[in-house]
Amino acid sequence: MRVLITGCAGFIGHGVARRLLGDGHEVVGLDNLTPYYSPALKRARLADLGGLRGFAFHVVDVADFEGLERLLDGVDVVVHLAAQPGVRYSLRDPFVYERTNVAGLLHVLEAVHRRSPPPRLVWASSSSVYGGNRTVPFSETDRVDDPLSLYAATKRAGELLAHSYRHLYGLPAVGLRFFTVYGPWGRPDMAYWRFTEALLEDRPIEIYGSTAASRDMTYIDDIVDGVVAAVLRPVTDEILNLGDAEPVTLERLIGTIERAVGRAARRIELPAQPGDVEATFADVRRAGEVLGYAPRVRLDEGISRFVDWFKGWSGR
Ligand SMILES: NC(=O)c1ccc[n+]([C@@H]2O[C@H](COP(=O)([O-])OP(=O)(O)OC[C@H]3O[C@@H](n4cnc5c(N)ncnc54)[C@H](O)[C@@H]3O)[C@@H](O)[C@H]2O)c1
């Protein structure tokens, strides 16, 4: 298969590309290498893929419709992961979320629709669309009209755009709602990375809000399993959850990192940030039925693999 991956220099894009290339597929990667976090880390991920057979990479912005369209030649499946992530940063620069997460997805949908036959589209939504929902676990059939952050609102807007393309043109698109993904090659803006870095440098960790807040933390290899299954199988669902289905409190996450690093954390307690949610918890039964998805890597193991990778990563 020939697969176009947008956001290929990103955390999840790198993991999906690596797996597909290892399995003998061709990958066309696209990314604009935004400086939201270290472009050096993005380049290191690309360098890791660079030696693999069947990989080509292009610096293109999803805002560039013609540039995007040109890369679709011969493509069987598009995995659209390019996005402006992060709940907190959306308070500082809301416009980049609109450009990339809403207009960017619209470009991808339109470019795919103009091809005959259209490639299948697998794209990244987010657990954040469940917003202030209280009933857990979160199911694909729950109402999602209470986004608590601008990031969540743009991901939900994307789901509605994809819904319209499916309705109007029968566009084959599945949106995957990822739940807090972590692991080697991860994202420096996320709590598990910041805590690990601070502990290793003997600095206090900054905790926003209550440590009783919980997240359904999902190991990168499990997410990659789910994405790759959605690439290879003709999925007809519109939305699927990909999570761990075993939420952990912030307190437990900190304890797990302390054990993996071998040092107790000094804490700076700060107020909860606007846009943060209390809990996330995925119902993954449908992904299990449709994709054979079954998360395998437990938190202790996943964090220990992350810490080992982090210690050895030369970009620190
Ligand atoms: N990591 C998580 O916990 C998580 C959870 C839910 C959803 N998601 C979604 O999964 C996808 C991948 O997330 P990630 O964690 O790998 O993030 P990431 O930031 O590491 O990867 C996204 C990549 O997209 C690129 N990009 C940003 N704007 C672009 C543009 N306009 N044109 C082209 N490329 C652009 C960035 O340079 C980056 O390399 C995103 O859509 C994100 O919203 C991630």
Atom number of ligand 1 nearest to Cα 42: 39
For 80-104, how does the pLDDT look when each residue is reduced to its tens digit (9 = 90+)? 999 999 998 999 999 999 999 999 9
- pLDDT given for residue 112 in this prediction: 98
Number of domains in the chain: 1
Whether residue 126 lies inside any domain: the answer is yes
- pLDDT given for residue 316 in this prediction: 74
Asked if omega into 137 is within 30° of 0 (cis), the reply is: yes
pLDDT band per the 50, 70, 90 thresholds, residue 302: very high
**Residue 11 structural domain:** 2-181+219-244+282-296
CATH number at residue 116: 3.40.50.720
Q: Is 131 left (phi over 0), alpha (psi -120 to 50) or beta?
A: left
Whether residue 161 lies inside any domain: the answer is yes
Query: Which pair of structure tokens corresponds to residue 45?
Result: 């991920």
What is the mean pLDDT of the segment spanning 213-235? 97
Residue 151 bears catalytic tag: yes
Whether residue 112 lies inside any domain: the answer is yes
Whether residue 33 lies inside any domain: the answer is yes
pLDDT band per the 50, 70, 90 thresholds, residue 135: very high
Whether residue 197 lies inside any domain: the answer is no
| Residue 10 alpha carbon to ligand 1 centre in Å | 6
- pLDDT given for residue 314 in this prediction: 80
**pTM confidence score:** 0.98
Please give the mean pLDDT across all residues of the chain.
97
SS3 label, residue 30: strand
pLDDT band per the 50, 70, 90 thresholds, residue 51: confident
Whether residue 129 lies inside any domain: the answer is yes
Reply yes or no on whether the pLDDT at 208 is more than 90.
Answer: yes
Whether residue 207 lies inside any domain: the answer is no
Closest-CA residue to 76 (of 233, 249, 246, 290):
233
Catalytic residue among 36, 37, 151, 219: 151
Which residues sit with their C-beta closer than 6 Å to ligand 1? 6-7, 9-13, 31-34, 42, 61-63, 81-85, 100, 104, 124, 126-127, 178, 180-181, 187
Mapping DSSP onto H, E and C, the string for 38-87 reads: CHHHHHHHHHHHHCCCCEEEEECCCCCHHHHHHCCCCCCEEEECCCCCCC
Residues 6+ apart with CB under 8 A from 175: 123, 124, 125, 158, 159, 162, 238, 239, 240
Query: Which pair of structure tokens corresponds to residue 293?
Result: 């998805």
What is the mean pLDDT of the segment spanning 67-85? 98
For 267-287, how does the pLDDT look when each residue is reduced to its tens digit (9 = 90+)? 999 999 998 899 999 999 999
Whether residue 194 lies inside any domain: the answer is no
